[in-house]
Chains A and B, each alone.
Chain A
């Protein structure tokens, strides 16, 4: 049983580690780009912004299960070409993680920009300067919080993906509670999931503490 648990744990960590890393690497720049698009006065860019914004809204308000289902043709195609279930799941996980994080980053920067717009304008800062000298330093704590929340969300989504057969602790817990009841194993996998979630939250907390100016 321990072997099964450890394998599942390894799969889960693999999924959320890569999905979180990719989400952060793509989501934060995407959020910054959204902010840039939102503040640019140009018809084409406005149109692009509306499309992107709708996509973000879609990711935010649509249950993850539905998005998973949308991705099934694509993941199936990947699996046929010899990629494992777990790796194929990274695609929807990363996409949704990126979109959710981008949405948060965009909101944070937009709020701060509202507060600082007058001042940056008065100082004559370029958009780049106002982003790097003012907005990002001020947003740091909120951005780290947003990234942590996204990692926890990705963990939750990996469980849903597991229920659909992507492997990991999610799949194990579902199997052990429905198909071949083994309550101890199910309980252990759930406990492990909670522990991972707490670890992510705690790491985020530590990073925030560490990056405080004093």
Chain B
């Protein structure tokens, strides 16, 4: 299937002014997103995740660079035309604001009223979007009656009135319970599948990324440092930030007994600690034992666990390999060639 680009950012930079200085918070960001993608944006707090979303949502103009949505350069549009384009970009935050003096149906119809729709048409659209998010019975409730999830759903409904092509979720899942996260991610998945909506989510929730997202970008200090699929992120992260994220998010933290003794340089009398990851469909025992035999090595399994990413299951093993370091690196290359993704992560002395 041919995939068409929906978002293209070229050398986008953005700053904000404080009294003392101008602070750069997006540094030459280049990014393309395909239509129908669900993209997670991860990074530490202050890495520029929200800034990036705000830029894509055209809520602020970048200092330099070009933002094109659907092959249309929007950077230099006049404010009025920009408003028309912005209708197709939904932007949702964790703390949406509503008109407290008006009920939910009126709140949702606000953007339509502004566009000058007829009353009966507005009614139809409001009913449709409320049904879409499953809040038909809340049309006459007031914003303060809603819980956090319902508020977010209403905000989503309000963004759906114009059939957006892009949804930007700025830390929306933060602070929701598991069940709410599931409801919301199912809704987003169905929007993506049925309406081909492209979704960008800024989050640091590893479970959510595994279940919902397809691709990930990693941000650090205002720049995109890594872009990969979700499986790649969890199995072979490249950048430091991604490593850190995966380490904290999964059980890949080394056991304390090892952490105290590990050395990152080959050391005499130490043996190698190797992390192997592979898809479930592979039969690792055979390959592993063949390798061990072929290179005349000895090995010892320290940790083994499974990681479920979308529908795929991955196994991750931490093993010790005894032997000369040059032989071990050859063995690791051999394992990689046979589909077991392996990496020497350090050297440890005898653990016993």
Among listed A37-45, A129-137, A173-181, interface-contacting one: A129-137
Bound Cα distance from A80 to B111, whole angstroms: 58
Given A124-B86, A124-B87, A129-B114, A137 and B99 contact (CB-CB distance below 8 Å) = yes
Contact flags (1/0) for B128-144 with A, using CB distance below 8 Å? 00000000000000100
B contact residues around A214 at 8 Å (CB): 142
B114 touches A125 (CB 8 A): yes
Partner among A118, A122, A123, A140 whose Cβ is within 8 Å of the Cβ of B101: A140
Interface members, chain A 99-125 (any B CB < 8 Å): 115-116, 118-119, 121-125
B101 touches A137 (CB 8 A): yes
Q: Is A138 an interface residue (CB 8 A)?
A: yes
Give the distance to chain A from B80, nearest Cβ to Cβ, in Å: 8
Give the distance to chain B from A109, nearest Cβ to Cβ, in Å: 14
Partner among B100, B103, B114, B142 whose Cβ is within 8 Å of the Cβ of A123: B114
Give the distance to chain A from B226, nearest Cβ to Cβ, in Å: 30
Q: Is B228 an interface residue (CB 8 A)?
A: no
Closest B residue to A118 by beta carbon equals: B59
A213 touches B91 (CB 8 A): no
A122 touches B84 (CB 8 A): no
B110 touches A134 (CB 8 A): yes
Closest B residue to A132 by beta carbon equals: B113
Give the distance to chain B from A207, nearest Cβ to Cβ, in Å: 15
Bound Cα distance from A115 to B97, whole angstroms: 9
Partner among B86, B100, B113, B142 whose Cβ is within 8 Å of the Cβ of A122: B86
Give the distance to chain A from B179, nearest Cβ to Cβ, in Å: 29
Q: Is B302 an interface residue (CB 8 A)?
A: no
B99 touches A124 (CB 8 A): no
Give the distance to chain A from B81, nearest Cβ to Cβ, in Å: 10
A contact residues around B99 at 8 Å (CB): 134, 137-138
B114 touches A124 (CB 8 A): yes
B contact residues around A116 at 8 Å (CB): 97
Bound Cα distance from A135 to B103, whole angstroms: 15
B142 touches A213 (CB 8 A): yes
B contact residues around A119 at 8 Å (CB): 97
Give the distance to chain A from B215, nearest Cβ to Cβ, in Å: 26
A contact residues around B97 at 8 Å (CB): 115-116, 119
A123 touches B59 (CB 8 A): no
A213 touches B114 (CB 8 A): no
A124 touches B101 (CB 8 A): no
A contact residues around B113 at 8 Å (CB): 129, 133
Q: Is B102 an interface residue (CB 8 A)?
A: yes
Partner among A124, A129, A138 whose Cβ is within 8 Å of the Cβ of B100: A138
Bound Cα distance from A141 to B100, whole angstroms: 11
Q: Is B238 an interface residue (CB 8 A)?
A: no
Closest B residue to A137 by beta carbon equals: B101
Bound Cα distance from A199 to B102, whole angstroms: 29
Contact flags (1/0) for B68-85 with A, using CB distance below 8 Å? 000000000000100110
A contact residues around B102 at 8 Å (CB): 137, 213
Contact flags (1/0) for B81-125 with A, using CB distance below 8 Å? 001101100010000010111110000001101110000000000
Give the distance to chain B from A124, nearest Cβ to Cβ, in Å: 3
Give the distance to chain A from B55, nearest Cβ to Cβ, in Å: 13
B contact residues around A118 at 8 Å (CB): 59
Interface members, chain B 163-212 (any A CB < 8 Å): none
Give the distance to chain B from A143, nearest Cβ to Cβ, in Å: 11
Bound Cα distance from A115 to B100, whole angstroms: 13
What residues of chain B have their CB less than 8 Å away from a CB belonging to chain A? Answer: 57, 59, 80, 83-84, 86-87, 91, 97, 99-103, 110-111, 113-115, 142
Q: A124-B84, A137-B101, A213-B101 are in contact. List 13 more A-B contacts (CB 8 A).
A: A115-B97, A116-B97, A118-B59, A119-B97, A121-B83, A123-B111, A123-B114, A124-B80, A124-B115, A125-B114, A133-B110, A140-B101, A214-B142
What residues of chain A have their CB less than 8 Å away from a CB belonging to chain B? Answer: 115-116, 118-119, 121-126, 129, 133-134, 137-138, 140-141, 213-214
Q: List 9 A-B contacts (CB under 8 A).
A: A121-B83, A122-B57, A122-B59, A123-B111, A124-B115, A125-B114, A137-B102, A213-B103, A214-B142
